[in-house]
Structure 1
Amino acid sequence: MSAVILALAAGAVIGLALGALGGGGSVLAVPALIYLLGFTPVAATTASLVIVSVTSATALAGHAREGGVRWGTGLLFAAAGIVPAMLGGAAAGRLPNTVLTGAFAVVAAVAAIRMLRRRPAPESHRPVRPGRAAAAGAGLGAVTGVLGVGGGFLAVPALVGVVGLRMRAAVGTSLLVITVNSLAALALRAGTADGLDWAVIGPFAGAAILGAWDGKCLASKVSGPALQRIFALVLLAVAAFMLIDAVAV
């Protein structure tokens, strides 16, 4: 199967996840780029940031038009996580790859289990405390920095469980957090963009954008609790895959 066809298929799946669930893009993009398309880990991480940034921004626009984004909370989350993410990234350089992969799997599994066990989020927003939002954003930034991902798969559980947003608002707001964090990380990785295969990245990103629109339509037809369960199951699958990969190494 050609690289372009694989890129189109992988991009469609990742866009669907981002549009419907508000996260999971970078988690799926990096393995797809490495295992399906033959990118090196460094190139895959940089390429995934390009893909996730564009796709998240596109999906964010759709959610914003329907009032599904809590801008203040999202910007506070993103701003509070910038410095912890930088410190976490510095610490990650001193950790073995197997430790990082195992830690990623554990964090994803814990987030998924918490979402499966908690009661459905309220159908109306409750007041958001800036302190709690900033603290959660800082913690998310630190974990994102250490694990080297966009953080959307952790942003949704944090926005639901810590801040108290209902699922649909958490989905839209997480896209704002993903977009800001991905663009910031991409700016720091500008030097690693040389030599990227844009003939593959272009179709990948295009399919992801189209998939994100379909994902948004899916989100409008599925109940909040159902989206929460789907998201948790996706996290468990990712955690299992990465744990197996860490043990195999």
Structure 2
Amino acid sequence: MEYFGYLASVIIGLSLGLIGGGGSILTIPILVYLFKIDPKLATSYSLFIVGVTALSGCFSHYRMGNLKIKSALYFAIPSVFSILIIREVIFLKIPNLLFTINDFQVTKNFLIMIIFAILMVSASISMIGKTKTQIHAISTNYWQLAVIGAVIGTISGFLGAGGGFLIIPALLFFAKLPMKQAVGTSLLIIFINSAIGFAGDLYIGAPIDYIFLLSISSMAFIGMFIGTHLSKKIDSNKLKPIFGWFVLIMGIYIIIKEIFI
């Protein structure tokens, strides 16, 4: 299964390079189901893998003129505060065993995977549906962007997700960016969120296998390189529905596996 895991890791970077998100949607299931990593630790690992992969993509998109620094900072700063509060304060106080229904135990790990799967299904629906490639507006609403950043930071902190599948719509509708710029800017936000979240996990003493993380990240780098170059030639809006169906299938699989298998 590990060989499949390394191969699947390429898709993490491919997704980030092509549509500016979806990396964490793939990373958590890959770590949990293919590498048998504990879900709680997988959230920390995901922050590292997605973060460094997104950083590598930032350089390419910067050269292409797709990074909007001001929008990224308005989004990322409140998002970072939310991530730190969730991961370093609230997350640590959630007990491993939440409650029991008959003989079925609802644990913290179960809750993480189920919420993640629900978000995957929700995100897949928006990806499968038609999206407008350009949104016409007078100016960017930076304060609304900051509020959305705080909300998405809360989700990112709990799930260990970069949040790209939520960041892209926010940049389209509140920052009023074209799709290509939303993709590039989302990578910068993902890197900032992931880096701060992972640094916080290091501070509280999360056990980290750096050799493993670097090996997964190197495979994701390959995918990012391919995805970034393909994004120059392929309309990312045409790829989103395909990726959306893939995410939908994975989300349904996680729900079935966690509840019934």
Same fold (TM over 0.5): yes
RMSD: 2.6
TM-score, length of structure 2 as denominator length = 0.81
The match for 2:209 among 189, 196, 210 is 196
C-alpha displacement of 1:56: 0.8
- Aligned pair 1:20/2:18, yes or no? yes
Matches within 5 A, 1:109-148: 109-122=121-134, 127-148=139-160
Gaps of 5+ in 2: 99-106
Equivalent residue, structure 2, for 1:84: 82
Separation (CA, whole Å) in 1 of partners of 2:67 and 2:239: 17
Q: Could you tell me whether the CA contact under 8 Å between 1:155 and 1:174 is conserved in 2?
A: yes
Separation (CA, whole Å) in 2 of partners of 1:99 and 1:194: 21
Separation (CA, whole Å) in 2 of partners of 1:125 and 1:220: 25
Q: Structure 2: which amino acid aligns with 1:85?
A: I
Matches within 5 A, 1:23-172: 23-89=21-87, 90-92=89-91, 93-94=93-94, 96-97=107-108, 98-122=110-134, 127-172=139-184
Quick one: structure 1 residues 201 and 147, their matched pair in 2 at CA, closer, same or farther if it must change by over 3 Å? closer
Q: Could you tell me whether the CA contact under 8 Å between 2:83 and 2:197 is conserved in 1?
A: no
Equivalent residue, structure 2, for 1:10: 8
1:163 aligns to what SS in structure 2? coil
C-alpha displacement of 1:122: 0.8
Quick one: structure 1 residues 91 and 195, their matched pair in 2 at CA, closer, same or farther if it must change by over 3 Å? closer
C-alpha displacement of 1:148: 2.9
Q: Could you tell me whether the CA contact under 8 Å between 1:219 and 1:227 is conserved in 2?
A: no
C-alpha displacement of 1:28: 1.4
Q: Which of the two has higher C-alpha Rg?
A: 2
Separation (CA, whole Å) in 2 of partners of 1:51 and 1:119: 28
Equivalent residue, structure 1, for 2:245: 233
Separation (CA, whole Å) in 2 of partners of 1:78 and 1:175: 11
